[in-house]
Amino acid sequence: MKLSDYTAFPADIPIIVEDNLFLYPFMISPLFLADEENIKAANDALEHNSLVMVCTAKIGEEHKRDFNAIYPAGVIGSIMRKVDLPDGRVKILFQGMQKGKILKELSTSPLRGTIDIIQTERSEAVKVEATLSVLREKVAQLGSLGGQFPPDLIKTIEDNNDVHRITDLVASSMKLKKEQAYKLFVEVDDESRLLQLIDYVIEEIESSRLKKEIKSKVHSQIEKVNKRVFFKRTTQTDSKRARN
């Protein structure tokens, strides 16, 4: 189903809090709900056949379930499946559809708000295409260093022409800090978002190169030590044999 099959926006929908992950509109993700408020929000959505928004908890506010503890933007989507687990948790399969923002706080048990869609601003097409080309180049470069971009993901990024899908794919594959991820998540200008992402990829390239260089130096040093130890033991053995 599409977003338009449910309701017009702005809309009043329940909110689930994810403590660690940023979800993106293209994702179909299993979520394990352990606290009462998240389970209430999921049940509310299912009972009323409504959408739900998943927001991420701010740094240091994990496991709290109030509006002050969450970022005011997240992913609007549907609950495809719900399973009650023997340990009391609930597993849901969430399908992301669109990015949304909280306009108004309605209730806290469960969290519920008036949500609107985040609209993007189209930048000049030529600039976006040129910047996208640089991003693809840097992603391929990071992939060659054994980073978080396997060949099939790089191919998907190269073959896809949807700038929003590409930036979301790249962002979701990187180990960004929460504040970095959120800043990128809510950026509405295509060119600005691409430039931010390129900066993050370049930082990761430099970090990966430095790690490889350090590992190489450590490996080289270990080899030298092993050779010295081997030479010393061989010399001692030869000396013993000469004495005998």
Confidence of residue 238 (pLDDT cuts 50, 70, 90): low
Confidence of residue 7 (pLDDT cuts 50, 70, 90): confident
Specify the pLDDT at position 110: 93
Homologous superfamily, domain 3-117: LON domain-like (2.30.130.40)
Domain ranges of the chain: 3-117, 121-244
Paired tokens of 212: 């490889």
Specify the pLDDT at position 236: 58
The answer to pTM > 0.95 is no
Asked whether residue 190 carries a pLDDT value surpassing 80, the answer given is yes
Confidence of residue 107 (pLDDT cuts 50, 70, 90): very high
The arrangement of secondary structure in 121-244, i.e. its CATH architecture, is Up-down Bundle (1.20)
Asked whether residue 244 carries a pLDDT value surpassing 60, the answer given is no
Across 95-104, 115-124, 167-176, 210-219, the highest mean pLDDT is recorded for 95-104
CA distance 99 to 186: 8
Count of C-beta atoms within a 10 Å radius of residue 29: 16
Specify the pLDDT at position 210: 82
Confidence of residue 89 (pLDDT cuts 50, 70, 90): very high
pLDDT in tens, 53-65: 999 999 999 999 9
